[in-house]
Amino acid sequence: MLRTSPRLSSLPSVPLGFVAALLLLAAPGCKDDSANGDGDGTESDSATDSNSGPSGGSDASESGSGDVTGGDAGEEIEPAPGGIRRMVTREYVATIDMLLGPEAAAVAAPPVDTPQDGFDAVGAAELALDSVAVEQYETSAGLIADATIANPTRLAETAACVVGSPDAACYEDVARDFGRLAFRRPLEAAEIDLLVEVGEHGQAWGDGAFEAGLRFQLMAILQMPSFLYLVEIGQPDAESGFRKLDSYELATRMSIFLLGRGPDAAMLDLAQGGALDTDAQIREQAQAMLGSPQARAALAGFFDEYLRLADLETDSKNAELFPTYSVELARSMRQESLLLVHDIVWEQDGDYRELFTADYTFVNDALAQLYGMPGPAQAGLYARTPWPEAQHRAGYLSQASFLTHQSSSLRNSPTKRGRFIQQSVLCTDIPPPPQGVDPSLPPLTEDLTLRELLLMHLEDPSCAGCHGVTDPLGFAFENYDAIGAYRTNELGGLPVSSQGEIDGFGSWENAQELADVVAADPRTSKCFVNNLIRGELGHRETPGESAAIDALDLTFAESEFSVQTLMAEFPTSPLFQLVDEPK
């Protein structure tokens, strides 16, 4: 049933400015969940990965009086709270590139992102800025402003006066026109007056030089919360009983989601002209946006986080045991996985689940040597190459990027590998070890394989609950060492076994068979939707969103699991358009 009208409260129409900035700095951050991190990366570490969560929901508390029908799709939904979140680094840099050009983007230096639940966007929504981060934004704004003044071509596309008539009157054009693009909405008169005053004071301080005032004006715009933060508070919506994103907020969320940057002037014009008012209009625009190169880069950024590819270059391996491992090899592993994603999503517009079942990969010379495969015909390039049949590999879970990152510096880790599948691919909650339980393994002796040692570990009831659902999955990859090379024996010479079984889930003899089981599990596609919510909307899926998630997952299935179709349909969902009261 719909919520009653008293539930609809309107927020004061006050732009986010310097006062809001001070309030944001004072806002408390969320609790630190670092206790659930990966620890030292050894098999003894069985703490929860930061991307954990139950299938189809989360541990977030439910609020309000119940589910309602929201949006044109008619799904029952209790949307997540509205609010604001900072642009993450890749969004910030891409937005600067769109606003001011590649020279300005090249010097942008925002604070480092702090992920929560495995994604930067969740951290950006939950964690408050500290004083160091504020200083970094100021430094970044200064560098960007200097680069813009040195090459004002892109700025002149929005405010032509910066090259045509660079005088005091130009500050108003910059505030109004560039400010609209930077703030992703029209500015109010008081905001324009403030920014003009900043420019005029800067010009006076700079002995009358227009560029001095422009520098301070640009720095002010680039440090204001209306630029740094994505505002998603909506307006009261009588039909749903919640709040619906206004046209500018929707245009911004669509641009960030599909292009990885703020909306351009054309998108803002669509919002202003009412061209995003219906689902048909939204769908049409989303499909058009998916045809741009920026959409490919944005989705690659998401998969970089989702598959933990961005962390590869910081992984370390024992140089004596793995002499061929290097930062350059790690970069090749990352590129291999991104090429597989690109091929499935963009070249084929294929079934998302092929990410786990693909019988081919992309290798350069270094990866071909690692895998024992023929190298590309042309040195230095990547080539699509079938997996060697005898190695029983399939998809991402057999690629070196996964096998390397989900291992320790000394050896592979069935626990970490299985835990990633449960938490990130199936969205199964894996709790941390009970308090007082020692999760460490006894030393590995020459007469025991790692598998045998872990099976002994499972005999402890306090360990079996978690390890019983992670380790059997990880055993499927025992034929691959800590950097993904194929092996038939452990370092001590004992033969390895890749057989595994979990009641109610399936059984397998090797990684290829496990990949088929994972791909066929209905949780796999639904978990991908959940990960999009986390990584792109910046919040963990809530119980009240479960019906809308199910509806979107059904659309995904009906499209034969086309990621492109899912991305185009997502903005029409009440998941995307509705929010609850700001937190």
DSSP class of residue 320 equals T
Q: Which residues of the chain have pLDDT under 70?
A: 1-75, 436-445, 457, 459-465
Distance (Å, whole) CA 391 – CA 512? 9
In a domain, 171, yes or no: yes
In a domain, 208, yes or no: yes
- Predicted local confidence at residue 445, as pLDDT: 67
pTM: 0.86
- Predicted local confidence at residue 454, as pLDDT: 77
- Predicted local confidence at residue 419, as pLDDT: 95
Distance (Å, whole) CA 567 – CA 408? 35
Distance (Å, whole) CA 3 – CA 320? 64
Task: List, in sequence order, the alpha helices (H) in 348-399.
Answer: 354-357, 365-371
What values do phi and psi take at 229, rounded to 5?
A: -110, 140
Task: List, in sequence order, the alpha helices (H) in 458-532.
Answer: 461-475, 511-520, 522-532
Angle at 279 between CA 274 and CA 283, to 5 degrees: 100
- Can you give the residue range of the structural domain that contains 131? 85-229
In the chain, the number of structural domains is 1
In a domain, 160, yes or no: yes
In a domain, 486, yes or no: no
- Predicted local confidence at residue 75, as pLDDT: 65
In a domain, 205, yes or no: yes
What values do phi and psi take at 525, rounded to 5?
A: -70, -40
DSSP class of residue 344 equals I
Residue 271, amino acid: A
CA dihedral 360, 361, 362, 367 (to 10 degrees): -120
In a domain, 493, yes or no: no
In a domain, 187, yes or no: yes
Residues 6+ apart with CB under 8 A from 460: none
In a domain, 158, yes or no: yes
- Predicted local confidence at residue 8, as pLDDT: 32
